[in-house]
Amino acid sequence: MSSTGCSVSSKDKKELAKLVSGEVRQPGWVDNRDTMQVVSHLTSRDPNLHKVRVDLGEATDESPESFKEKLQKKDPGLKFEGYRQRGSMVHITVRDPKSREAIYESAKENPQIQIKEISPPSAVFKISYLEEDLTADKIAKDLYSKNLNHHEGWTETKVAEAMKIFVDRKAINKGGFREFSYRVIYFRAFGGLEILLAPLTSVYIGASKCRIEPTVYVLPCMTCGSLDHRKDRCTISDKYKDKQICFRCCQRNHVARECKGNVFCINCHQAGMKSTAHSITSYDCPIFKREREYQMNQVKWGRKEPVLSMTLEGEGNGEKGPGGDHDASSSSC
């Protein structure tokens, strides 16, 4: 087995290998529930599905219905999987390339019509057991050259542009055998990279075979512990700005790994919940759980099966994945 970039004795290598073994995720692979749910969302995405947002403009006299009918008059064979209106905004879901092209042609005829293609939401991935000295550029380079270079249309530059690392830290393994630390990164993948990475359980980066898994990442505000904003947008008093909150007891004189106080959730306390005897990142916390479910739903996109949100007549005939009309930039994990 290749070096993992951390100090592991020979007797521990067999146990460590169990954590990073497996080239492609199989039905028998042991993943946590969140990972398997994200994998399901990603692998079921329909690559031929497109969602388009059309702004008819304030000066136009056309209603969304007449806009739809105008397209159909030119070509009765056009197919739209979903169609809905919010004010002057029209949201259209389409699989047929010919129908998609017809939407863009309509904008050329009327300059007031503005069209924007909605990108699929990004997905968060976690890579474990990375070597300490690897830079972000080297990680992206090896991710392509050693794992994804057989995919047509992909290059080293394209992979680097389709991933954004937002957490790079050390983790500690305390279970089963001798305790050791290792490097972990979290990054957002978009532009189709998330589809390529979803089936993988391990990737070769540097001299190591590293574990990779899609997940959701809910990071509380470092200053106040809230889940609805980050530290740079926190409005708490200036005297607390440089004092990180402990996610375990919500005090400010230490960090969670050094905490010896009573477990307390400030979010549940402020929400008037009866139970506050848990950390703000605990799975027992209803507020934390709700945020994770929201982030999970953001990963959804149109499924490969013909499950449609709305017909041209406006009648629902199936389910629609939440978050379908959000940009990739609006997906925050």
Closest C-alpha among 6, 44, 115 to residue 306: 44
pTM of the model: 0.69
184 vs 328, more confident: 184
Q: Any idea which residue has 């004189």 for tokens?
A: 253
Residues 122-178 pLDDT 10s: 899 999 999 999 999 999 999 999 999 999 999 999 999 999 999 898 887 766 667
Span 270-294, pLDDT tens digits = 889 889 999 998 888 999 988 888 8
DSSP string, 245-268: PPTTT--SSS-GGG--S----HHH
State yes or no: pLDDT of 105 exceeds 90.
Answer: no
Residue pair 94/52 in contact (Cβ under 8 Å)? The answer is yes
What is the DSSP pairing of strand 82-86 with strand 114-118?
unpaired
Q: What is the pLDDT of residue 164?
A: 95
For residue 87, pLDDT over 80 is answered with: no
Cβ atoms within 10 Å of 17's Cβ, excluding its own: 12
* Greater model confidence, 177 or 116: 116
Mean pLDDT for the stretch of residues 166-193: 84
Burial (CB count within 10 angstroms: exposed 0-12, middle 13-18, buried 19+), residue 96? middle
End-to-end CA distance of the chain: 33
33-79 pLDDT, tens digit each:
678 888 888 888 877 888 888 888 764 555 556 677 778 888 888 88
DSSP 149-183: TTSTT--HHHHHHTEEEEEEEEEEE-SSS--EEEE
- State the greatest distance between any 2 C-alpha atoms of the chain, in Å, as a whole number: 75
